[in-house]
Structure 1
């Protein structure tokens, strides 16, 4: 009788154990499916351009808390820890700002953080901009530290390692990527270095007969060419006009330099009195090149200044459609001015 009870008890225990094992297997299977689903399910991103900014020294626990606080995930912190451990990245997440692109999953986000693929933004220096234009663009750049605020031009050039240089024309027009934590001085330093390298490479290939004594002279002439035309096919022709004028000791007589010399007094129109009012930049009253560039010349304008088109043209005038009419004599130039500026074509 006792023996029968014992056997019955054993059967019951075995049955209970089997039930527990099956329940554990089922629970483990459910957990693993749920965890796997979590790892590859896109985060809750409410708007394009959203990002997560992880400060230096933030613990893994606080990173997950931040993600939950931004409403990106409702999953248990344990899932995030388990995923990071499985990926072997729990202790290798980098601080920085990370882009939250639509469809990004927890697994992909942790991979980016482990690889330090922080979010990059762009700021563009446009061909023909002045230094003031560049500073204004940098001031508007999102997440860029503004360390130039309150500094004059000399102090800015000192800060970027170019003491004594005038800033105009010294920064290569290009698009520059930056990350959160970079400053406007960092961008200026890179743009200055890019211009130095570009100018040095192009100067080494110059026509030795040019009446340009230094790379800085090239920057000055290129900036004038840049402001005179945006047409690629006309840059070498316009550069050729100015080169021949320099060789013949003629006044350059270019309006963009006059406008630059007028500074804030320029309101959009240039008058005859402006052409006769002397400033260091008035090429109607002063011979040779102006003292500094008048804008940031792009690489094509620099190449045009170093490799001007041959010919005999000494004058040009805007046609009003973005192109210019070129002339080799003053009489021909006067006819072009009458036609295209005064609308008295004959």
Structure 2
């Protein structure tokens, strides 16, 4: 029951004011106008700062967030009225919405947040850059973002065994980097984070994998990723500790693995070829690897080498110089690195691939046995176009 009685000093009971007290002086009416003045001031301030505050608050007044009407999700390449936005690690739907609104892709943050809440695919938006049309309906913008195919990126695939020269060609073919930019990055080996045992040489330290080139990335950044990947794999395989078990340094392990990439083609053969290499090293026998001769002569895709090529005085020529070459002859993958660290015990000194399509490889302890296997290869090559 109200204790407010009738009288000219009181407001009617049907018009209560929040915070009023019985017997309050009439000047309290002026105070009652203060909240309205504050709201007007905030609205004016919001309009002054680009109107974003006002637009985003329309939803609370109308029940729906401001939204554009266009549902066109086809984004023309290098077209007008196209914006590129970045989704960063840890971005919420509101954070993405703010980026979209700042680029005039969506009309309000709330419209995008509402669209994201209504679509469970929004939780799978991947980090990266996206191109979107300006002034899109929020749900249409979301449709672009939830499709990973719309990520702006260039995939550069580096296969196992690729040499630095091959990697440079692949980068130039798949990216917009210039030759001058790539060459400058390659020369700055200290800036790429090479480990000390690399002796400033990139060969063998650009790990074979698929790399995504995002907007803003530099040639140096891409090559640094490749070096870092090599270091990560070395760490995961505990290469420093395991190299000692086979009597090698980490760099020598990569060197052996890089030779395996060319001397074998089947996973099951890599550990056996590694053992044959170690057997030769142990008795001081020349490795006589045609793969190292090919590297010394800047050759690729060859099966046989000539006498002249095998007489090349290059330190990488294992027909001339005993022991391992001074460094890797290409980029070894994880499987060949593991094989170099975990050879299969056996007495072999010779190995030869006798079927270039299946990769069948034969192993022998004696030179006579090896010569017999060479004849099998010659016979194969007489009828096969793979040689």
Q: TM-score, normalised by structure 1?
A: 0.68
Q: What residue ranges of structure 2 are gaps of 5+ in the alignment? A: 1-62, 87-98, 115-127, 382-387
**2-structure distance, mates of 1:106, 1:139:** 37
1:141-290 equivalences under 5 Å are 141-142=174-175, 148-151=181-184, 153=186, 155-162=187-194, 164-202=199-237, 203-204=239-240, 206=242, 208-212=244-248, 214-263=249-298, 268=302, 270-290=305-325
**Is 1:54 aligned with 2:48?**
no
**Is 1:337 aligned with 2:374?**
yes
Can you list the C-alpha shifts for 1:126-157, whole angstroms capped at 9, x where unaligned? 1000011111111223456777344284x231
Change in 2 beyond 3 A, CA 1:170/1:85: same
- Which residue, out of 149, 152, 173, partners 1:119? 152
- Deviation at residue 38 of structure 1 after TM alignment: 2.7
- Which residue, out of 342, 345, 359, partners 1:307? 342
- The secondary structure found in structure 2 opposite 1:38 is coil
1:81-120 equivalences under 5 Å are 81=107, 83-84=108-109, 86-87=111-112, 97-99=129-131, 106-109=138-141, 119-120=152-153
**1-structure distance, mates of 2:280, 2:309:** 21
Change in 2 beyond 3 A, CA 1:106/1:166: same
Change in 2 beyond 3 A, CA 1:159/1:147: farther
- The secondary structure found in structure 2 opposite 1:225 is helix
Change in 2 beyond 3 A, CA 1:105/1:305: farther
Can you list the C-alpha shifts for 1:219-274, whole angstroms capped at 9, x where unaligned? 1111001111221111111111101111111111100100100026x784521222
Aligned length in residues = 281
- Whether contact under 8 Å (2:67, 2:138) holds in the other structure is no
Change in 2 beyond 3 A, CA 1:336/1:180: same
- The secondary structure found in structure 1 opposite 2:212 is strand
Aligned position for 1:137? 170
Can you list the C-alpha shifts for 1:137-193, whole angstroms capped at 9, x where unaligned? 11223456777344284x231331338520100121111223111112112111111
- The secondary structure found in structure 1 opposite 2:242 is coil
Can you list the C-alpha shifts for 1:99-131, whole angstroms capped at 9, x where unaligned? 569xx9643526978xxx963332121100001
**1-structure distance, mates of 2:179, 2:129:** 18
Pick 1 or 2: higher relative contact order, CA cutoff 8 A, min separation 6: 1
**1-structure distance, mates of 2:144, 2:241:** 43
1:19-34 equivalences under 5 Å are none
1:291-302 equivalences under 5 Å are 291-302=326-337
- Whether contact under 8 Å (2:193, 2:228) holds in the other structure is no
Aligned position for 1:9? none
**2-structure distance, mates of 1:146, 1:167:** 17
Q: What residue ranges of structure 1 are gaps of 5+ in the alignment? A: 1-31, 68-79, 90-95
Change in 2 beyond 3 A, CA 1:175/1:341: same
- Deviation at residue 301 of structure 1 after TM alignment: 0.4
- Whether contact under 8 Å (1:147, 1:184) holds in the other structure is no
CA RMSD of aligned residues (A): 3.9
